Amino acid sequence: MFGIREEVWKNINGFNTATEIYQQPELWLETLQIIQNNIEKIKGFFAGFQENKNTRVIFAGAGTSAYIGEILVPYLQRKYNYRFEAIPTTHIVTNPENYLEKDTTTIIISFGRSGNSPESMATFNLAEQLINDVHHIFITCNPDGEMAKTAKDKKNILLLLMPEKSNDKGFAMTSSLTCMILAALLIFDIQNLENYSKQLAEIANIGKNILDNNHQKLSEILNSTPKRVIYLGSGSFYGLSKESALKLLELTRGKIIGYSESVLGFRHGPKSIVNDETLVFIFLSQDAYSRKYDIDLLKEIYNDPGDHTVIAISANFENDLKEICNDLLYLPEKAAEIDNPILISMLYILYAQVFALLASVKSGIEPDNPNPGGIVNRVVKGVNIYPYGKIN
Query: Could you read off the pLDDT of 146-159 as tens digits, one per residue?
Result: 999 999 878 899 99
> What number does CATH give the domain 6-195?
3.40.50.10490
Query: Could you read off the pLDDT of 328-362 as tens digits, one per residue?
Result: 999 987 777 888 999 999 999 999 999 999 999 99
pLDDT above 70: percentage of residues in the chain? 99
Q: How far apart are CA 170 and CA 189, in angstroms?
A: 31
The vertex-237 CA angle with 164 and 96, nearest 5°, equals: 75
The DSSP string of 39-59 is HHHHHHHHTTS-SSTTEEEEE
pLDDT of residue 382 exceeding 90: no
**pLDDT recorded at residue 232:** 99
The boundaries of every CATH 3.40.50.10490 domain in the chain are: 6-195, 196-363
CA 327 to chain centre: 24
Min mean pLDDT across 159-168, 228-237, 377-386 is at 377-386
Asked whether 66 and 89 are in contact (CB, 8 A), the reply is yes
196-363: CATH topology: Rossmann fold (3.40.50)
Question: Half-sphere exposure of 327 toward its Cβ, with a 13 Å CA cutoff?
Answer: 15
Q: Which CA distances in Å does 244 have to 116, 257, 258? A: 23, 11, 8
The predicted model scores a pTM of 0.95
Query: Could you read off the pLDDT of 207-248 as tens digits, one per residue?
Result: 999 999 999 999 999 998 899 999 999 999 999 999 999 999
The DSSP string of 186-237 is HHHTGGGHHHHHHHHHHHHHHHHHHHHHSHHHHHHHHTT--SEEEEE--THH
pLDDT band at 391 (very low <50, low <70, confident <90, very high): very low
pLDDT of residue 392 exceeding 50: no
The residue among 389 and 114 whose pLDDT is bigger is 114
Strand bridging mode 257-261 / 278-283? unpaired
